[in-house]
């Protein structure tokens, strides 16, 4: 399958990994909907990339705004693809605090809502829309969805129980979703990135960036958002890649802390 003459919805598309996906989609000749809540960044990116891109304010937990992104994608070109790369929230909290009190429940549920429920909501709604299109290949392919987990799904660090549980849920969803959507010709692939040099990560400063990079076996640096974008485009278009979670981490394995 090709990205040319198709549209892709990218949640979290205004910055970080999502922005890299939007740029990679456009570079491959596709159209993209930047589905995000960061209005200024999303609108600026849409202006920069031109007619192939549209920004749509989208809350991944709100059905109406997700449907709005789906409608906008259909106006650009036939919707074939979606990538869930939204984020921007996290809570660092041990299950039992130093004073003996339990961790709060609100942070845990909010994290699961954003990363897991939000991913599922976008997956189910975009897949239903893609399923209405005609197959694009002789073997019945209609499109694909790429989701984003994290290597924390496998080696969550201390204080990461909420994030690790949410991302493990996204990884665990992958094969089931691929099996469910096989009947309508839609593939599902998950990417589990390691430590990526996103704008949020860069805010920690040069000393911490160097420390994080030194923990990666090879290459000894943080991952580049463009590398994530390139892998997402490959996953969207490789017609035999399905039901798999791919680690993108330079062979990194998180330590307990």
Q: 55, 81, 115, 163: which is the annotated catalytic residue? A: 163
Angle at which helices 161-181 and 118-130 cross, to 10°: 20
Q: Cis peptide before 219, with omega less than 30 degrees from 0? A: yes
Gap between the Cα atoms of 103 and 110, Å rounded: 13
In a 13 Å sphere around the CA of 181, the CA atoms on its Cβ side amount to 29
Helix and strand numbers, DSSP H then E, in the chain: 10, 7
Q: Tokens 């030194």 correspond to what residue?
A: 214
H-run or E-run covering 79? strand 79-84
Among 166, 7, 10, CA closest to 85: 10
Q: Is 120 designated active site?
A: no
- Cite the active site residues: 163
């Amino acid at each position: 399958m090709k990205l040319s003459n198709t549209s892709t919805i990218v949640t979290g598309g205004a910055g970080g990994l999502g922005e890299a996906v939007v740029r990679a989609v456009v570079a491959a000749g596709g159209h993209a909907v930047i589905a995000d809540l960061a209005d200024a960044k999303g609108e600026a990116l849409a202006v920069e990339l031109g007619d192939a891109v549209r920004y749509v304010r989208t809350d991944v937990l709100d059905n109406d705004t997700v449907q709005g992104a789906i409608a906008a994608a259909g106006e650009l070109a036939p919707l074939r693809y979606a990538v869930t790369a939204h984020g921007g929230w996290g809570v660092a909290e041990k299950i039992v605090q130093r004073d003996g009190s339990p961790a709060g429940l609100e942070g845990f549920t909010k994290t699961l809502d954003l990363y897991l429920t939000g991913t599922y909501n976008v997956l189910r709604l975009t897949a239903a829309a893609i399923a209405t299109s005609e197959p694009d290949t002789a073997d019945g392919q209609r499109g694909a969805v790429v989701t984003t987990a994290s290597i924390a799904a496998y080696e969550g660090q201390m204080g990461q129980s909420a994030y690790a549980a949410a991302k493990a849920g996204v990884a665990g969803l992958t094969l089931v979703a691929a099996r469910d959507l096989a009947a309508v010709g839609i593939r599902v692939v998950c990417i589990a990135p390691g430590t990526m040099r996103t704008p949020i990560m860069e805010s920690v400063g040069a000393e911490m960036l160097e420390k994080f990079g030194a923990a990666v076996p090879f290459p000894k640096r943080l991952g580049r958002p463009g590398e994530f974008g390139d892998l997402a485009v490959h996953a969207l278009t490789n017609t035999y890649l399905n039901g798999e979670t791919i680690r993108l981490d330079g062979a990194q394995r998180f330590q307990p802390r």
